Amino acid sequence: MTEKIYQQDCYLRECEATVLRSEGDELILDRTIFAPDSGGQPWDLGTISGIPVTKVTERNGEVVHVLKKGKNTLADGDRAELAIDWERRFDHMQNHLGEHILSGVFKSRFDIDNKGFHLGDREGTFDLDIPSLTPEMITEAEDLANEAVFRAIPVQRIRLNTPEEAAQYPLRKALSVEEDILVVTVPGVDCVACCCPHPSDTSQIGLIKIIGIEKYKGMTRVHFLCGKRALLDYRQKHIVVSELAEQYSADAYSLLKKVEKAGQKNDAIRRELNELRSSLARRAADALLEESGRYAAGVYEDADMEQIRQTAKRFMELSEKPVILASIKEKTVLLAHSGSAGVQCGKLVKELAEGGRGGGSDTQAQAVFPDTESMLAFVERVKEESGNEQ
Ligand SMILES: [Zn+2]
């Protein structure tokens, strides 16, 4: 049986151990500071005698250290030097205890159970057994959790042998083991059976921040950050807010109002632009109709395709003739008619758009060209095909 030092001293970063079994890439040791994955928390990384550890997991009560593939040089009975990646471990400890505290607060203040925890590389999540949370509940839970941090409450670990002994404690969750029970308690805040490493007092968690909630299988999934993760997140968001504030000549507190105002201004400009486009399209369609023979054709220097489409649409409201419209700006040609002109627009594009690409239906087709010359040549070919040069 491996002595699990990480359960007694969460702060030991290096130690020596003896190899009990070395099999392939896997090692079983007589003692270890490497915590395996447990209850949603990932395993420790680090090295054993200089060989990188890629995974640590518990199998049949044994802690199995998986080494980098093909690198194991240790044999049964060898002495091994263990060193964990402390930054990763402490980050896990901060976020894990943060989750204990948030869960304890949601339970004691709102009587909501935590049904599942996962600690990812970027953020932690847990699932609360309630369909939704109000913003007020989130803020209150966050405040209470951070107050527990500010009070620097010592974290107690109590080893118990039977469920009867454990029943003396106000456990937040039902026990999942019958013996060798480790109860982790933050007095007045949380009490739960857990065998992961935790900081020795709550102040080491640093900031606890809920960064989002989402609906998940009838429950509410809470996304949170603690400690250095929360600091890095604040730093990044501060950069974003500061840059936006400068762009909008605002500060962090007036930024939203300024963005809202700018949005309203944009909406007004967009509406005005649409009205102008419609008016332009009406005029262009009127002019096309006046100059048209069997069909109408127009080549425009600055009109974009949105303008061209609106013009075509307006023209088709006025006439059944086919219309050929080209945008020099976008090197694109639109062929269209309202349905009774007997021209197959898609077929014309396929047969005549040399150098261009595009297609469409009988009543509407579009072709894009690499240069203006090939586009204008296509327009001429379509005109010739219509047998009605203008
Ligand atoms: Zn825990």
pLDDT tens per residue, range 192-219 = 999 999 999 999 999 999 999 999 999 9
Residue 194 confidence (pLDDT): 92
Find all residues with CB under 8 Å of 29, minimum gap 6, and list them.
Answer: 2, 17, 18, 19, 20, 48, 63, 65, 80, 82
Write out pLDDT tens, residues 249-269: 999 999 999 999 999 999 999
Q: In whole angstroms, what is the distance from residue 237 CA to residue 252 CA?
A: 11
- Tell me the CA–centroid distance for residue 262 and ligand 1, in Å: 47
- Tell me the CA–centroid distance for residue 129 and ligand 1, in Å: 19
- Tell me the CA–centroid distance for residue 102 and ligand 1, in Å: 12
Q: In whole angstroms, what is the distance from residue 130 CA to residue 149 CA?
A: 25
Q: How high does pLDDT run on average in the chain?
A: 94
- Tell me the CA–centroid distance for residue 41 and ligand 1, in Å: 9
Question: Which tokens sit at 366?
Answer: 């579009």
Residue 40 confidence (pLDDT): 87
Question: Where in the sequence of the chain do the CATH 3.10.310.40 domains occur?
Answer: 277-385
pLDDT at 121 exceeding the cut of 60: yes
Give the predicted TM-score (pTM) of the model. 0.77
Residue 390 confidence (pLDDT): 39
- Tell me the CA–centroid distance for residue 40 and ligand 1, in Å: 10
* Class level of CATH domain 90-246: alpha beta
Write out pLDDT tens, residues 78-106: 999 999 999 999 999 999 999 999 999 99
Q: In whole angstroms, what is the distance from residue 249 CA to residue 234 CA?
A: 21
pLDDT at 285 exceeding the cut of 70: yes
Residue 387 confidence (pLDDT): 56
- Tell me the CA–centroid distance for residue 92 and ligand 1, in Å: 10
Residue 389 confidence (pLDDT): 40
- Tell me the CA–centroid distance for residue 139 and ligand 1, in Å: 23
- Tell me the CA–centroid distance for residue 235 and ligand 1, in Å: 27
- Tell me the CA–centroid distance for residue 93 and ligand 1, in Å: 8
pLDDT at 223 exceeding the cut of 70: yes
Question: By CB neighbour count within 10 A (0-12 exposed, 13-18 middle, 19+ buried), where does 350 fall?
Answer: middle
pLDDT at 144 exceeding the cut of 90: yes
Residue 294 confidence (pLDDT): 87
- Tell me the CA–centroid distance for residue 211 and ligand 1, in Å: 21
pLDDT band at 157 (very low <50, low <70, confident <90, very high): very high
- Tell me the CA–centroid distance for residue 38 and ligand 1, in Å: 9
Write out pLDDT tens, residues 11-56: 999 999 999 999 999 999 999 999 999 988 899 999 999 999 999 9
Write out pLDDT tens, residues 334-347: 999 998 888 899 99
- Tell me the CA–centroid distance for residue 304 and ligand 1, in Å: 61
Average pLDDT over residues 320-333: 95
Pseudo-torsion of CA 315, 321, 322, 328, nearest 10°? Answer: -40
- The 3-state secondary structure of the chain reads CCEEHHHHCCCCCEEEEEEEEEECCEEEECEECCCCCECCECCCCEEECCEEEEEEEEECCEEEEEECCCCCCCCCCCEEEEEECHHHHHHHHHHHHHHHHHHHHHHHHHCCCEEEEEECCCCEEEEECCCCCCHHHHHHHHHHHHHHHHCCCECEEEEECCHHHHCCCCCCCCCCCCCCEEEEEECCCEEEECCCCCCCEHHHHCCEEEEEEEEECCEEEEEEEEHHHHHHHHHHHHHHHHHHHHHCCCCCCCHHHHHHHHHHHHHHHHHHHHHHHHHHHHHHHHHHHHHCCCCEEEEECCCCHHHHHHHHHHHHHHCCCCEEEEECCCCEEEEECCCCCCCCHHHHHHHHCCCCEEEECCCEEEEECCCHHHHHHHHHHHHHHCCCCC
Q: Which percentage of the chain shows pLDDT scores above 90? A: 89
What Cα–Cα distance (Å) separates residue 251 from each residue in 241, 255, 262, 302? 8, 6, 15, 39
Question: Which tokens sit at 281?
Answer: 């399209």
- Tell me the CA–centroid distance for residue 95 and ligand 1, in Å: 10
Find all residues with CB under 8 Å of 92, minimum gap 6, and list them.
Answer: 35, 41, 42, 44, 119, 196, 197
pLDDT at 177 exceeding the cut of 60: yes
Question: Where in the sequence of the chain do the CATH 3.30.980.10 domains occur?
Answer: 90-246
Query: What CATH number does domain 3-84 carry, 3.90.850.10, 3.30.470.20, 2.60.40.3080, 2.40.30.130?
Result: 2.40.30.130
Question: Which tokens sit at 5?
Answer: 């030092």
- Tell me the CA–centroid distance for residue 15 and ligand 1, in Å: 23
Residue 95 confidence (pLDDT): 97
Query: In which residue are the tokens 């762009």 written?
Result: 247
Residue 148 confidence (pLDDT): 98
Q: In whole angstroms, what is the distance from residue 27 CA to residue 21 CA?
A: 6
CATH hierarchy code of domain 277-385: 3.10.310.40
Question: Where in the sequence of the chain do the CATH 2.40.30.130 domains occur?
Answer: 3-84
Pick the closest to residue 349 from 371, 375, 370 (CA basis).
375
pLDDT at 388 exceeding the cut of 70: no
Q: In whole angstroms, what is the distance from residue 219 CA to residue 133 CA?
A: 10
Residue 340 confidence (pLDDT): 85
Instruction: Please answer whether residues 280 and 315 qualify as being in contact, where contact means their C-beta atoms are separated by less than 8 angstroms.
Output: no
Q: Which percentage of the chain shows pLDDT scores above 70? A: 99
- Tell me the CA–centroid distance for residue 156 and ligand 1, in Å: 11
Query: In which residue are the tokens 């060193």 written?
Result: 83
